[in-house]
Amino acid sequence: MNLKSFTSMLLAVCLLLSLFSAGASRTTEAATGLPFSDISDKYWALETIQWGYSSGLVKGYQDGQFKPGKTVTEAEFLTMLIRSYEPEVTASTKGNWAAPYYNRAKALNYPVKSYTALASRNQVITRAKVAEMIAAADGVNFSGNNAIRYLLAFGLANGSDSNQVSVASFKGSQPLTRAEALQFIKNFTDYGAGALLDRPQEASDPADIPPVADR
């Protein structure tokens, strides 16, 4: 095979692959209503991702993927939480992009670590820390397992196993993923206070939380 023939064959193969990829992408979008190649119509968080995308809370990546299993930083989750009710708060074009969200969180007394420690804003957030932030947005002041109990008791979370709702099944020490972040936010908008409330200065009474199993 001469060079000209080989080049022609290679171009033909590339064209076929391109057409196949475009066809697969259109098929996926038709089935899910989303422009993401890595989200199928069987994915557990499909409806939640559809909601988050249509609400403008999240976007995809330049490669056409949503990356639902990618971990989320504190700044990213705080941004989604604030924007879920206050879309007028937007990223800064000067300095640290997340500053407006942290300023708002500070005004609401939310338990974020990075009001001034900018480097920690990019650290992956855990599910337990998310529980504290969601509880805070719902107008109570709980930390650690009590924050987890609050979310489970009031339907703001189901844990990692809906058939075994407990503090242990919540897996608070695990890092948060993009799909999980959206699910937390959607739960809050569906079943929470209906707005971003101030977190009380004093700790709330754990006795006010309905019983939730530890394991």
Ranges 6-10, 21-25, 61-65, 140-144: which has the least confidence? 21-25
Question: Residue 14: what residue type?
Answer: C
CA distances from 84 to 45, 134, 209 (A): 18, 12, 25
| The pLDDT value given to residue 16 | 44
Question: Residue 153: what residue type?
Answer: A
Residue 126 has φ and ψ, to the nearest 5°, of -90, 165
- Tracing tokens 């008791």 back to the chain, one arrives at 153
Task: Quick: pLDDT tens for 109-130.
Answer: 999 978 888 888 999 999 999 9
Q: What percent of the chain has pLDDT over 90?
A: 76
What six digits make up the tokens of 104?
Answer: 């708002």
Mean pLDDT for the stretch of residues 52-66: 94
Mean pLDDT for the stretch of residues 145-155: 97
Question: Nearest-CA neighbor of 214 among 144, 156, 155?
Answer: 144
Q: Look at residue 135 and tell me whether its pLDDT is greater than 50.
A: yes
How many CA within 13 A on the CB side of residue 185? 29
| The pLDDT value given to residue 8 | 56
| The pLDDT value given to residue 39 | 95
> Alpha-carbon distance 86 to 176, whole Å?
22
SS (H, E, C) 128-164: HHHHHHHHHHCCCCCCHHHHHHHHHHCCCCCCCCCCC
Residues 6+ apart with CB under 8 A from 117: none
Supply the angle between the helices 46-54 and 178-191 in degrees, to the nearest 10: 80
Residues 6+ apart with CB under 8 A from 135: 141, 142, 147, 150, 151, 156
Please tell me the pTM assigned to this model.
0.84
Name the DSSP class of 122.
G
